[in-house]
Amino acid sequence: MKSPFGIALAGLFSTTAYACESCEHPERDVVLTRNVRRMQPDAQNASSLPRAPLSWGQVNFLHTTDTHGWLEGHIKEKNYGADWGDFVTFVRDMRRKADALDVDLLVVDTGDLHDGAGLSDATSPNGELSNPIFENINYDVLTIGNHELYVSAITYEHFYNFSRHYGDRYLTSNVQVYNPNTSTYEYIGKTHRYFSTPKGIRIMSFGVLYDFTGNSNASKVIPAAEMVNQTWFQDALHTHEPIDMFLLIGHNPVRPSVSTSTLDTVFNAIRAVHPNVPIQIFGGHTHIRDFAVYDDKTTALESGRYCETLGWLSMSGLNSSTYTGCANPAGVTNPTMPAIKVNGSSTATGNFTTSNTTSNLLYSRRYLDWNRLTFEYHAAGSQVSTFDSSKGLNVTSNITTTRNELNLTSLYGCAPQTWCITCAPFLSNGSIYTILTKALSATIVNDTRADISRLIVLNTGSVRFDLVKGPFTYDDSFIVSPFTDGFQYIPDVPYDLAVQVLPALDAGPYEKRSVSPALSRRDFGFYNPSIPEQDDCFDPPSTHAQGSLSKRSPGRIVRRETTVTPGYTTTDDFGTDGDDTIHSAIPDYTVPDNFQANASFPTNGTLPDTVDLIFLDYIATDVLTALSGAGASYTIDDVSYYLPNSFTTNSYLPAYAKQAADWQADVPNCPVGLGVGYNDTATA
C-alpha cells in the first residue's frame, strides 16, 4: 500500500517529509518554529500537529459553517486558537498553493454567522461589526442560515449589506425578504449561480436552507419540495449550458437520515434531470463533523461549528472538456476514495435516485482543527516565507480593537476550572450545572425575602456553551448564557408541591427551549418550534485508536508532540480518519431538560414547609400546568417578578463571578486552562 505520507517537491515546496523520530533532520525544522505569534493576544498555541498533509485533487474545497460570531477564535482553548485574520492568511496561501499545483480551490460557507460570541452579539443588530470582518474572506459561494432570519433587523442587514458584498456568490435559493421599496418578497441573495472555475470546471450551484419556520415575518422560507418545482429551478436544471458538476450548499444537515435535512429532496430533483452529473454537497446546522455518501458521484461534507473546524474536501476524476488544470497534481497525495461507504453494503445513505453509470471520481475529506499550527502546517509550501499576511494581520488587529471597543475583554472574575455541558456527568464536579446551581443560589436573592427558602428551576438549554477555565469576561457572558429571560416566582408554595415541578417539566413536552436541549446547545438560542426531538444529532461514537502518532510527525516537532490531546474523534461514511489532528475522545453525557437550585433552606437539615418557587418568565404557564398536575390551583395572578426583569439569565453568572471569593482570588491574572475536555488539574 502506498504510504499517504511524505511529500517533497524540490524547489517548489518546502520539505515536509516524514522522518524517523530518532533521526536528526535539521533541514526539516523549518516550518513551525519561526512564527511571529498572531491570533488574539491572549490565545494559546496548539501542540498537536495534523496527522498528514492534505490530499489535493482536481477541485478542492475549504468549508466553514455555523461560525456564530467566533471570529476571535477560542481564546481559552488551545486547539481552536486561530482567529479570522489567521484564516484570511490561510485562504490566501491555499489559493496560491492551488495555483502552484494547477488545480481549483473553492471556498464555501453555509451560514449562521451570529448568536454565539460577543463579537457578533454585543451589537444591535447582531453581526453589525462581525459581518464586515467575516467579509474579508473572498468566498466563492455562500448561503444563509436560520440565525440570519429570527430578527428582522439582522435579515435586512443581510439583504442590504451582506448580500451586496458577495453579489452573485450569495445563494439563497429558497429564502426571500420583504422589500419595503417594492412591497414584494425578493430573494435575499441569488437563487443560483452558474460559473466556471479558474481552471474551467462548469458549475451550477444552489444554496438551500432546511424548511425553517421560526423566521420573523420579514422573510419567507420556501420549502425545498416546493422550490424544486419552481420555474427558475427547473430552468436552471434544463439549461443548455453544459454542467460538469452541481455544487449544492445549504444550512442543512448533510446526513439524510436527519429528518430536518432537505438536501435529499434537492438531490433527487437534480438526479431526475441529470442522472450522472457529479453533485458535491456542503451542509451545516447540526454543528457536527460529518461526511455522507449519497451515490457514487455525490458526497456531502459538514464542517462543525464555532470556528473549531475547517472542512477540507478534494476530488479528482471529474469529466470536463473545458478543464485546463492538472488531473492529479504532483508532489502531493491525491484523493483515493471512491464514493462508497466504508462500512456499508450500498452507496446510498438514503432513499435516493442514484446515478447509473460507473464513476471515476475519487475523494478525500478532512476536518481541520482551527488553530495556527494546523494552518501553518498545511500552508507550508505555498511559496510564502512567513505565514502572516498584512491583510490577515489587519483583520486580527481589527478584531482586537473591536473587542476592546465593545468592552468584551472587561473582566468579571476568573473561572477557576472548566465546567462543561456534556463532557462530565450531569451535576458532577466538572458539570456546568453544578456551578450554575451554586451561582443561582448565591445571586437569585430578593433582599426582602432573602431568608425565605427557595427553589429555582431552570432549563438546561438556557446554557449555550461550556464555561472554560480562565478570565470570565463580558464576552463570556454571551458565550455561556446569552439569553435574557427574567426570573419570576410564586411565593410560599408548599414544598411538597414545589418539588414536583422539576420532574413534571422533565417529563412533559412543556417548555419551548427544552424541546431538545442537546440540539439547542448545538445551535439554537431561540425557540424553534420546527425542530422535533429526533433531529438531535450527536457526533458518531468514537472508535479512534490512539495509534503511533509520533511516527507521523515531521522533523523535530515530534519531540514537542508526545501526547494526544482531547478533541474531535469523528466517524463518518469514510470511516475514522477524517479528523486532521488525532485526538482522544471527549466523553458525551446526556443532560436532562431542567435543573434546580435551592437556597436559604433550614440549616438543621429539615425541609421547609413552603418555598418561593422561582422560574424563568417564559415558562410560567408550563410551571402552572405542572403545579396543577400536582393538584394545586395557582393562576397567573400568583406569578410576579422575583427580581427586576432586567436581571436575566445573562446577568447571574457575571454577578456570581464578581462576588465569589474563589473567582476573585486571582483577578486580574487569571490562570487559563487548555480547553474543554482537558483535565486542568493534571495539566495546570
The residues that touch ligand NAG, with contacts defined as CB under 6 A, are 35, 37, 44-45, 125, 132-133, 156-157, 160-161, 179, 181, 225-226, 229, 275, 351, 356-357, 394, 397-398, 401-402, 406-407, 446, 448-449, 602, 604, 606, 640, 643-644, 679, 681-682
Running DSSP on this structure, what letter comes out for residue 311?
E
Q: How far is the CB of 390 from ligand NAG (least distance, A)?
A: 8
Looking at the DSSP assignment, which residues form a beta bridge with residue 363? Answer: 315, 337
Distance CA 159, CA 186 (A): 9
Please give the grid coordinates belonging to residue 641: 417578578
Q: Which residue has the cell 512567513?
A: 386
> How far, CA to CA in Å, does 675 sit from each of 37, 76, 217?
19, 6, 40
Q: How far is the CB of 448 from ligand NAG (least distance, A)?
A: 5
Question: Which is closer to ligand NAG, CB of 275 or CB of 338?
Answer: 275
Q: How far is the CB of 593 from ligand NAG (least distance, A)?
A: 25
Q: How far is the CB of 81 from ligand NAG (least distance, A)?
A: 9
Q: How far is the CB of 258 from ligand NAG (least distance, A)?
A: 14
**Where are the alpha helices (H) located in 65-189, listed in sequence order?**
84-101, 118-121, 130-134, 152-157, 163-166
Q: Any idea how long the chain is?
A: 684
Phi, psi of 620 (to 5 degrees): -55, -45
Question: Which is closer to ligand NAG, CB of 333 or CB of 417?
Answer: 417
Question: Which is closer to ligand NAG, CB of 106 or CB of 623?
Answer: 623
Q: How far is the CB of 675 from ligand NAG (least distance, A)?
A: 13
Q: Nearest to residue 147, comparing CAs of 284, 37, 276, 281?
A: 284
Question: Which is closer to ligand NAG, CB of 360 or CB of 640?
Answer: 640
Question: Which is closer to ligand NAG, CB of 184 or CB of 621?
Answer: 184
Distance CA 495, CA 630 (A): 12
Question: Which is closer to ligand NAG, CB of 6 or CB of 275?
Answer: 275
Q: How far is the CB of 372 from ligand NAG (least distance, A)?
A: 8
Q: Which residue has the cell 420573523?
A: 216
Q: How far is the CB of 476 from ligand NAG (least distance, A)?
A: 15
Looking at the DSSP assignment, which residues form a beta bridge with residue 443? Answer: none
Running DSSP on this structure, what letter comes out for residue 264?
H
Q: Nearest to residue 109, comparing CAs of 160, 58, 166, 152?
A: 166
Question: Which is closer to ligand NAG, CB of 175 or CB of 643?
Answer: 643
Question: Which is closer to ligand NAG, CB of 509 or CB of 644?
Answer: 644
Sign of CA dihedral 638, 642, 645, 649: negative
Residues 244/247/248/250 CA torsion (nearest 10 deg): -170
Q: How far is the CB of 583 from ligand NAG (least distance, A)?
A: 16
Question: Which is closer to ligand NAG, CB of 104 or CB of 388?
Answer: 388
Question: Which is closer to ligand NAG, CB of 425 or CB of 540?
Answer: 425
CA 401 from centre of chain: 24
Question: Which is closer to ligand NAG, CB of 48 or CB of 402?
Answer: 402
- Buried b / exposed e over 9-30, threshold 16 CB at 10 Å, is beeebbbbebbebeeeeeebee
Q: Are 441 and 595 in contact (CB under 8 A)?
A: no
Q: How far is the CB of 4 from ligand NAG (least distance, A)?
A: 27
The amino acid sitting at 51 is: R
Q: Which single residue brings its beta carbon nearest to ligand NAG?
A: 682
The three-class DSSP label of residue 22 is coil
Question: Which is closer to ligand NAG, CB of 425 or CB of 508?
Answer: 425
Give me Rg for the CA atoms of the chain.
26
Q: How far is the CB of 532 from ligand NAG (least distance, A)?
A: 17
The amino acid sitting at 600 is: S
> How far, CA to CA in Å, does 581 sit from each of 97, 540, 584?
21, 17, 10
Q: How far is the CB of 225 from ligand NAG (least distance, A)?
A: 4
Which positions ≥6 away from 433 have C-beta within 8 Å? 426, 427, 460, 463, 591, 595
Running DSSP on this structure, what letter comes out for residue 435?
H
- The terminus-to-terminus CA distance of the chain in angstroms comes to 42
